[in-house]
């Protein structure tokens, strides 16, 4: 006889549930055939939601839970209410915890109530328990039927009681738990009680990189079935060798709850996307004796000639309707599902959908909302999918667990390929001997999770790959998982990055572009390859995305990748203070902001979009790189045709470009000169055609730049976007011979006067004055007319940017080099009168870091009679220097110069390795609006390839800064230091002045927050450099800024 203490259910890795129903596809009985074709589960008379307010109690330790709360006579009148679905931490119960891979509970599987480090949140909240109660009346019409309850998602384990009787137990938070309630319910009011545990043994397999939240976070519903029911079914399409004709094969499992053997007939019908029956698409099978308590399998195969095929580009959906009839044809039950005819296969190291090679242009997506946590709404799902489609994303990996069932319905509808991932991650155990993938006692828990995923989601056309989990190490248990999936489904390939040898697709995370190119060239690999995670989007990120996709498109065995990740996991947290407009102040909270321990800080704010789904510069870059059409310049058409030829390549796998209108715009220095469109471009998938754009003859203006922008726009509304939505574009630089730049007029403006008094060197003219400080080695004040432009903030060498999350690979080396702040030692100041209309001031400054290395900066200021100041900067490095964040100048201009206009890349920020999505043009906005929101403040607002930028006041007067020929530029209300020192943007208050950076260059962004540093061509080496720019007055009385910037100033 054993004296061992019985293990708690929720600390038993082999106890997967008590009285749980076997997994099945997600469907419910419907009223009749018409309702089945419509396919709206919420309208079924046999479904009742249990969403809504429940009575709720929370305790931090299981020993303190109300143990008898499930009893009918237990008084809960003093309990508060909590909405279902929800996460209880976001309603004031317990602590949200963000950790990447470190377990927030003990690391002693399968135990939860074990010792943890003293700083852990689990010390005061060892294993919180939430107790839920609700009463509900069973509809009278359900009498004689079987009644079930379905929980779509509960974190992490729970017990269920009905009317005081214990029904069962479940763990595995991301797939459905169903229980048969028929013997527990009674007519009229019924009491439901649910006891939820924050952690359980299964939590060791749910160690994903996300906020650790708890509760009943997905839908809960009751449904009833006929005594003889369709328990489950699987609809598959089997195509012929040419992928032309198909067979619809439906396998159904029928269950008899009666006390007698029954005879039943199963009928299957197919309806098209408009709800019309497909001709001759009907089948039936008779079952002569289904014994009491027995489950039998029935199969119907229906040949379908040339069905419309489902793909992400053309997501055509039929409806499969199943009817179960009694011996005399009486109706027992009707169920249905949307269905896409689709074939997935791997051939010649390529991934084929319907016989055609496809590329997966993907993102990883956690289920998250900033005020609801895991409890995502249908509206949020639709918003995500509309953004996916509008920004050319065709694939989602459900990182790292099966998503809400409604997500798959929407992916079927909108057309998104899904890599469906099992709820298996034990990252905190590592990948060695301790890995749970090696442990026999954990095999059933692994296999159960992949099987439940496959069974639930098998009928979805969108699911093209099964993924067995993420970062859970290798091991025997994944061999078992792969075997289980293949025994069930041979129509989809398997993915698992930690053990490629058992998968059908090889994968990796965060490779360099060079590694990917080598993998593409390697013929020793027999499988296609995907980057299941790449392009880590944390903070200011998504560097060199174009180079990744150049490699993917160069090598057929590379089938794409999924960017990490879709959305920032910032929880909306209020500070209790008020904004200047009286609204409540809040910020995006990340790890540690709730006192949670352990935590991984802002590593959860790594999304392509912000927590509230705002479009970012990162997303625009993705749209550009992921677009399905390439447009190349060919050249001018010979006379008499005129116009300009471009080559258009259709990179879609299935659709013709005839659904798009081709629009073109000719710009002169960023201003529209001509525009037109071609009503239709007939171009089948995969083909290229040369198109003539009817540009009219024009007279080039002196020194002007000409760009041709060609785009494709939707000709009609779609489910995801309206008519006119731009799907692809390219901006081409037109080869135009232009006259030389006009010279600025200096004669008749009066003399330039040079004056030197002690520390000051002043150069003045009829309508301006610039004062230099010998001690500061730069401009101290600049005045145009009555307008003071610069005061005590002239341009100085600057090497520093507020480090991005990706900069961690070199930020410490830069700090260790002592290059910020710099000490400015003025070595020499020279001033000379060049002529009556020009004077020159040269300032040489040794810009020294704390360790003695730095730059020798010589600036030559040539001041002209019209107030222009030509500046040539010589940067000469000295000492042992690391890579540089940037090399340029920073100055401070008056705060009322609040309007920024520039000719360069825009409208959003851009960087050397992330600027494909930003066209060259003229853009305008407030300085305040140039800030790009990041949960942790960092480098932002830079504009690449800027020809000129103007900062003006309300009258339009101010300062024009002209590159020679271009510069990187930013104008913000804060310094890099202020961003770098802050953890949250609400702590950064706008300055009274405008901080202007004029840079020779910035380093690229790369992806080193979790991946490679910038490519070598985007690194900024400390080399001798020359950087020219010009400061000029601007305003309504001086003409357009663009015309002023185009003027040539005399070489003196």
Q: Residue 840's domain is classified under what CATH number?
A: 2.70.98.10
Name the residue range of residue 183's domain.
9-225
Q: Average pLDDT, stretch 106-135? A: 98
Please give the tally of structural domains in the chain: 4
pLDDT at residue 3, as a whole number: 52
Same domain for 827 and 812?
A: yes
Final residue of a structural domain among 209, 225, 241: 225
pLDDT at 1007: 87
Alpha-carbon span 124 to 127, nearest angstrom = 9
- Which CATH number fits the domain that encloses residue 23? 2.60.120.260
- Give domain status of residue 55, yes or no: yes
Instruction: Indicate which CATH number applies to the domain containing 657.
Output: 2.60.40.10
Q: How many Å apart are CA 424 and CA 494, to the nearest integer?
A: 14
Is pTM beyond 0.75? Reply is yes
Token pair of 229 as six digits:
């029911």
Q: Is residue 353 part of a domain?
A: no
Q: Encoding tokens for residue 211?
A: 């906020």
Do both 617 and 633 map to the same domain? no
Q: Is the pLDDT of residue 839 over 50?
A: yes
pLDDT interval class at 365 (50, 70, 90): very high
- Omega within 30 of 0 (cis) for the link into 1000: no
pLDDT the model gives residue 523:
72
pLDDT class for 2, splitting at 50, 70, 90? very low
Output the pLDDT for position 765.
95
Residue 802 lies in a domain: yes
pLDDT at 4 over 70: no
In angstroms, how far is CA 433 from the centroid of its own chain?
34
Q: Tell whether 240 is covered by a domain.
A: no
Per this entry, what is the length of the chain? 1052
pLDDT band for position 103 (50/70/90)?
very high
Q: Is the pLDDT of residue 641 over 80?
A: no
Cβ atoms of 397 and 71 closer than 8 Å: no
CA pseudo-torsion sign 729, 731, 735, 739: positive
Look over the chain and give the mean of its residue pLDDT values, rounded to a whole number.
96
- Mean pLDDT value across residues 169-182: 98
Q: Which of 13, 178, 533, 944 is catalytic?
A: 533
Answer with the one of 188, 210, 225 that is the final residue of a domain.
Answer: 225
821, 688: one domain: no
Residue 413, domain CATH: 3.20.20.80
Indicate whether 813 and 711 sit together in one domain: no
Examine the domain organization and report whether 715 and 802 are in the same domain.
no
- Give 436's contacts (C-beta < 8 A, 6+ positions apart): 109, 204, 205, 426, 429, 442, 446, 472, 473, 475, 477
In this prediction, residue 1 carries a pLDDT of 39
Question: Are 557 and 688 found together in one domain?
Answer: no
Q: Is the pLDDT of residue 805 over 60?
A: yes
- Same-domain pairing of 182 and 81: yes
CB-based contact 214:129 (threshold 8 Å): no
* 449-492 pLDDT per residue, tens: 999 999 999 999 999 999 999 999 999 999 999 999 999 999 99
Is there a catalytic annotation at residue 135?
A: no
Residues 536 and 643 in one domain: no
Q: Which of 723, 715, 726, 709 is nearest to 664 (CA)?
A: 709
The alpha-helical segments, DSSP class H, found in 143-283 are none
For the record, the structure tokens of 1048 come out as 């040539």
Q: What is the DSSP letter of 917?
A: T
* 830 plus 962 within the same structural domain: yes
| The one catalytic residue among 471, 565, 771, 939 | 471
Note the pLDDT tens digit of each residue in 244-259.
999 999 999 999 999 9
784 found inside a domain = no
Q: Answer yes or no: is pLDDT of 362 > 90.
A: yes
Q: Is 901 a catalytic residue?
A: no
Question: CB atoms < 10 A from the CB of 758, how many?
Answer: 7
Asked if residue 288 is part of any domain, the answer here is: no
SS3 378: helix
User: d(Cα 812, Cα 62) in Å, to the nearest integer?
Assistant: 45
Of 182, 207, 225, the one marking the end of a domain is: 225
Cα–Cα distance measured from residue 497 to residue 486, given in angstroms and rounded to the nearest whole number? 17
Closest Cα partner for 8 from 157, 167, 206, 120? 157
How many percent of the chain have pLDDT more than 90? Answer: 93
Residues 614 and 684 placed together within one structural domain of the fold: no
Instruction: For residue range 129-171, list pLDDT tens digits in order.
Output: 999 999 999 999 999 999 999 999 999 999 999 999 999 999 9
493-551 pLDDT per residue, tens: 999 999 999 999 999 999 999 999 999 998 778 999 999 999 999 999 999 999 999 99
The predicted-structure confidence for 985-1038, as pLDDT tens digits, reads as follows 999 999 999 999 999 999 999 988 888 999 999 999 999 999 999 999 999 988
For residue 489, being part of any structural domain is answered with yes
Chain-centroid distance, C-alpha 201: 31
What does the pLDDT look like over 328-353, one tens digit per residue?
Answer: 778 889 999 999 999 999 999 999 99
Instruction: For 611-668, give the DSSP string.
Output: TT----HHHHHHHHHH-SEEEEEEEEPPTTT-SEEEEEEE--SS--GGGEEEEEEEEE
Residues 647 and 615 in one domain: no
Identify whether residues 611 and 662 lie together within a single domain: no
In a domain, 504, yes or no: yes
pLDDT digits (tens, 9 = 90+) for 938-966: 999 999 999 999 999 999 999 999 999 99
């Amino acid at each position: 006889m054993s004296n061992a203490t019985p293990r708690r259910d929720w600390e038993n890795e082999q106890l997967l549930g008590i009285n749980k129903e076997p997994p099945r596809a997600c469907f419910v009985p419907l009223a009749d055939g018409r309702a089945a074709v419509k396919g709206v589960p919420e309208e079924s008379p046999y479904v009742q939601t249990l969403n809504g307010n429940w009575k709720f109690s929370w305790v931090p330790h299981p020993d303190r839970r109300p143990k008898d709360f499930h009893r009918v006579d237990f008084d809960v009148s003093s309990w508060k209410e909590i909405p279902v679905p929800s996460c209880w931490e976001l309603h004031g119960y317990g602590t949200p915890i963000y950790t990447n891979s470190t377990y927030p509970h003990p690391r002693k599987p399968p135990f939860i109530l074990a010792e943890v480090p003293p700083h852990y949140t689990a010390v005061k909240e060892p294993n919180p328990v939430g107790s839920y109660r609700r009463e509900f009346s069973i509809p009278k019409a359900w009498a004689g039927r079987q009644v079930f309850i379905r929980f779509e998602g509960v974190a992490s384990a729970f017990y269920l009681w009905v009317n005081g009787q214990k029904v069962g137990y479940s763990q595995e938070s991301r797939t459905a738990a169903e229980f048969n309630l028929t013997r527990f319910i009674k007519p009229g009011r019924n009491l439901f009680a649910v006891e939820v545990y924050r952690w359980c043994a299964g939590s060791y397999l749910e160690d994903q990189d996300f906020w650790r939240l708890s509760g009943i976070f997905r839908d809960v519903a009751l449904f009833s079935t006929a005594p003889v029911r369709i328990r489950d079914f699987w609809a598959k399409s089997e195509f012929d060798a040419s992928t032309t004709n198909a067979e619809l094969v439906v396998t159904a499992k029928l269950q008899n709850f009666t006390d007698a053997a029954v005879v039943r007939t199963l009928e299957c019908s197919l309806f098209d996307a408009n709800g019309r029956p497909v001709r001759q698409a009907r089948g039936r099978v008779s079952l002569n004796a289904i014994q009491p308590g027995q489950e039998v399998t029935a199969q119907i195969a229906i040949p379908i000639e040339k069905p419309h095929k489902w793909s992400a580009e053309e997501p055509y959906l039929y409806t499969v309707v199943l009817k179960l009839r009694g011996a005399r044809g009486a109706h027992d039950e009707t169920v249905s599902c949307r269905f896409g005819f689709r074939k997935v296969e791997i051939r010649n190291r390529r991934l084929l959908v319907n016989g055609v090679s496809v590329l997966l242009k993907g993102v990883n997506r956690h289920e998250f909302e900033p005020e609801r946590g895991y409890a995502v709404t249908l509206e949020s799902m639709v918003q995500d999918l509309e953004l996916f489609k509008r920004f050319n994303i065709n694939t989602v990996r459900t990182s790292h667990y099966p998503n809400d069932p409604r997500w798959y319905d929407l992916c079927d509808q909108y057309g998104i390929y899904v890599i469906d991932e099992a709820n298996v991650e034990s990252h905190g155990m590592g990948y060695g001997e301790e890995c749970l993938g090696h442990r026999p006692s954990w095999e059933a828990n692994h296999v159960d999770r992949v099987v439940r995923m496959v069974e639930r989601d098998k009928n979805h056309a969108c699911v093209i790959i099964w993924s067995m989990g993420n970062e859970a190490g290798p091991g025997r248990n994944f061999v078992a998982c792969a075997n289980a999936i293949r025994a069930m489904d041979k129509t989809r390939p398997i993915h698992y990055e930690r053990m490629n040898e058992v998968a059908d697709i090889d994968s990796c995370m965060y490779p360099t572009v060079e590694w990917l190119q080598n993998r593409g060239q390697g013929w020793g690999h027999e499988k296609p390859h995907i980057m299941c995670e790449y392009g880590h989007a944390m903070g200011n990120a998504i560097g060199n995305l174009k180079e990744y996709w150049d490699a993917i498109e160069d090598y057929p065995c590379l089938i794409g990748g999924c960017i990490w990740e879709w959305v920032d996991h910032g929880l909306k947290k209020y500070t209790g203070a008020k904004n200047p407009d009286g609204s409540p102040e809040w910020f995006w909270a990340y790890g540690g902001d709730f006192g949670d321990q352990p935590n991984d800080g802002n590593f959860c704010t790594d999304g392509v979009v912000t927590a509230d789904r705002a479009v970012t510069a990162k997303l625009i870059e993705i749209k550009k790189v992921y677009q399905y059409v390439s447009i190349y310049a060919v050249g001018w058409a010979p006379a008499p045709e005129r116009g300009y030829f471009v080559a258009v390549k259709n990179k879609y796998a299935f659709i013709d470009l005839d659904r798009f209108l081709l629009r073109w715009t000719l710009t002169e220095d960023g201003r529209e000169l001509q525009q037109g469109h071609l009503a239709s471009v007939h171009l089948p998938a995969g083909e290229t055609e040369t198109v003539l754009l009817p540009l009219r003859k024009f007279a080039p203006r002196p020194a002007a730049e000409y760009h041709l922008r060609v785009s494709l726009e939707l000709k009609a509304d779609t489910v995801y976007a309206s008519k006119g939505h731009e799907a692809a574009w390219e901006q081409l630089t037109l080869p135009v011979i232009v006259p030389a730049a006009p010279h600025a007029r200096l004669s008749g403006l009066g003399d330039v006067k040079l004056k030197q008094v002690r520390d000051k060197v002043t150069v003045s003219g009829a309508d301006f004055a610039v004062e230099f400080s010998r001690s500061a080695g730069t401009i101290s004040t600049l005045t145009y007319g009555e307008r003071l432009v610069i005061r005590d903030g002239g341009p100085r060498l600057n090497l520093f940017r507020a480090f991005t999350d990706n900069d961690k690979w070199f930020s410490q080396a830069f700090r260790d080099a002592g290059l910020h702040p710099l000490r400015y030692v003025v070595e020499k100041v020279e001033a000379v009168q060049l002529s009556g209309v020009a004077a020159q001031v040269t300032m040489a400054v040794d810009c020294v870091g704390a360790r003695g290395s730095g730059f020798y900066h010589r600036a030559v200021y040539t001041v002209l009679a019209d107030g222009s100041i030509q500046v040539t900067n010589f940067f000469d490095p000295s000492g042992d220097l690391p890579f540089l964040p940037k090399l340029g100048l920073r100055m401070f201009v008056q705060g009322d110069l609040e309007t920024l206009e520039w000719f360069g890349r825009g409208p959003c920020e851009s960087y050397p390795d992330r600027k494909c999505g930003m066209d060259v043009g003229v853009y305008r906005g407030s300085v305040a609006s140039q800030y790009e929101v990041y949960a942790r403040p960092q480098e932002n607002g830079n504009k690449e390839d800027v020809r000129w930028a103007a900062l003006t006041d309300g009258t339009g007067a101010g300062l024009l800064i002209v590159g020679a020929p271009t510069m990187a530029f930013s104008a913000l209300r804060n310094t890099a230091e202020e961003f770098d020192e802050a953890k949250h943007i609400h702590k950064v208050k706008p300055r009274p002045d405008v901080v202007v950076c004029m840079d020779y260059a910035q380093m690229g962004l790369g992806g080193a927050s979790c991946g490679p540093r910038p490519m070598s061509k985007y690194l900024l080496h400390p080399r001798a450099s020359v950087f020219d720019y010009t400061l000029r007055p601007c305003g309504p009385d001086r003409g357009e800024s663009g015309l002023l910037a185009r003027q040539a100033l005399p070489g003196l």
